[in-house]
């Protein structure tokens, strides 16, 4: 892979996943119980470490990433800053919103100079992200084990902790490939199965976290879960072209649903136990998947 490709792919993956990781740690930090103050402190430190890495990445990413990444709204949406401010205020846990503001100012520049110096810097960030990620995966797995043994209580579904681990492992595989200066590639149907399963989980979490009185929204969430469950099954048979089209249509729909849910939560119009930042987080993951779907060439 060329130097330009290495720099762009690294920056784009890090911008997306470093934020996803620090938000996972924020959700863990704010859903553990006061008795587990040691784990809360650990989640907080890991969150801040990923935040620091993201802050560094944003500086190097300016002008160096592709226009379509900026346009995809997978890095930040127009709701992110507001969702962060409200969720931080409601939980008391810290979020560095300066990073978000810097991300709103990111630009793409087609004739950007991809220097050897920048390649070294990016390689260094990749290595540090990989080391930190190993710790994060271990931490999440430890919490899930303790939770399943009923030794701790977390107000996140065990299935959600498993979901956070799966997303971290995907990022891990990407960083492993980049450490060898190779393109992180997955067979198309494996990638579709992974993300369709992520979308299915999101629909189930939303369904389970909405207030029982929100009947219409719960019904819609349930329908999305069924749609994506079917798409996961279809990805085993794997008719690529057909599956890409169907996944794109379903993801556009769930993206719209998540978008209006984020708005509704920010405006206090939906009864639920979904923090606004979680709604924005799953919206960005849908945007990320949609951008991947648009880039698949069959």
Q: How far is the CB of 27 from Fe ion (least distance, A)?
A: 9
Q: How far is the CB of 231 from Fe ion (least distance, A)?
A: 16
Q: How far is the CB of 272 from Fe ion (least distance, A)?
A: 17
Q: Which is nearer to Fe ion, 20 or 40 (CB)?
A: 20
Round to whole Å and give the CA distance between 221 and 199: 10
Q: Which of residues 76-115 bind Fe ion (CB under 5 A)?
A: none
Q: Are 82 and 266 in contact (CB under 8 A)?
A: yes
Query: Half-sphere exposure of residue 159, counting CA atoms within 13 Å on the CB side?
Result: 11
Report the number of secondary-structure helices (H) and strands (E) in the chain: 11, 0
Q: Which is nearer to Fe ion, 246 or 288 (CB)?
A: 288
Q: Which of residues 16-75 bind Fe ion (CB under 5 A)?
A: 20
Q: How far is the CB of 74 from Fe ion (least distance, A)?
A: 12
Q: Return the CA Rg of the chain.
A: 19
Nearest to 229 by CA among 258, 252, 192, 196: 196
Q: Which of residues 264-293 bind Fe ion (CB under 5 A)?
A: 285
- Applying CB under 5 A, the site for Fe ion has a residue count of 3
Round to whole Å and give the CA distance between 228 and 196: 6
Q: Which is nearer to Fe ion, 20 or 143 (CB)?
A: 20
Nearest to 28 by CA among 164, 211, 131: 164
Q: Which is nearer to Fe ion, 56 or 204 (CB)?
A: 204
Q: How far is the CB of 118 from Fe ion (least distance, A)?
A: 28
Q: How far is the CB of 259 from Fe ion (least distance, A)?
A: 16
Q: Which of residues 149-208 bind Fe ion (CB under 5 A)?
A: 167
Round to whole Å and give the CA distance between 112 and 104: 19
Q: Which is nearer to Fe ion, 114 or 147 (CB)?
A: 147
Q: How far is the CB of 282 from Fe ion (least distance, A)?
A: 6
The gap from C-alpha 235 to its chain's centroid, in whole angstroms, comes to: 22
Q: Which is nearer to Fe ion, 9 or 278 (CB)?
A: 278
Q: Which is nearer to Fe ion, 118 or 161 (CB)?
A: 161
The string of DSSP letters for 247-276 reads HHHHHHHHHHHHHHHHHHHHTT-S-BS--H
Q: Note the residues at the interface with Fe ion (CB under 5 A).
A: 20, 167, 285
């Amino acid at each position: 892979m060329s130097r330009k490709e290495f720099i762009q792919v690294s920056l784009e993956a890090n911008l997306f996943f470093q934020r996803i990781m620090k938000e996972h740690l924020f959700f863990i930090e704010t859903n553990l119980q006061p008795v587990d103050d040691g784990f809360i402190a650990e989640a907080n430190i890991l969150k801040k470490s990923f935040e620091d890495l993201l802050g560094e990445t944003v500086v190097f990413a300016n002008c160096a990433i592709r226009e379509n990444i900026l346009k995809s709204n997978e890095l930040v949406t127009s709701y992110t800053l507001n969702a962060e401010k409200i969720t931080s205020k409601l939980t008391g846990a810290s979020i560095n919103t300066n990073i978000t503001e810097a991300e709103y100012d990111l630009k793409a520049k087609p004739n950007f100079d991809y220097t050897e110096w920048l390649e070294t810097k990016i390689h260094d960030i990749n290595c540090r992200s990989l080391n930190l990620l190993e710790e994060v995966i271990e931490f999440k797995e430890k919490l899930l084990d303790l939770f399943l043994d009923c030794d701790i209580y977390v107000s996140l579904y065990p299935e959600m902790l498993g979901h956070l681990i799966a997303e971290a492992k995907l990022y891990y595989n990407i960083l492993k490939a980049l450490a060898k200066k190779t393109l992180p590639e997955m067979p198309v149907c494996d990638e579709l199965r992974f993300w369709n399963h992520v979308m299915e989980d999101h629909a189930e979490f939303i369904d389970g976290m909405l207030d029982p009185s929100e009947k219409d929204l719960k019904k819609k969430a349930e329908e999305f879960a069924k749609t994506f469950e079917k798409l996961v099954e279809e990805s085993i048979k794997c008719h690529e072209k057909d599956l890409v089209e169907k996944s794109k249509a379903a993801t556009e729909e769930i993206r719209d649903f998540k978008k209006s849910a984020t708005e509704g939560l920010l405006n206090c119009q939906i009864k639920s136990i979904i923090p606004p930042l979680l709604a924005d987080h799953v919206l960005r993951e849908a945007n990320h998947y949609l951008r991947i779907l648009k880039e698949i060439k069959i």
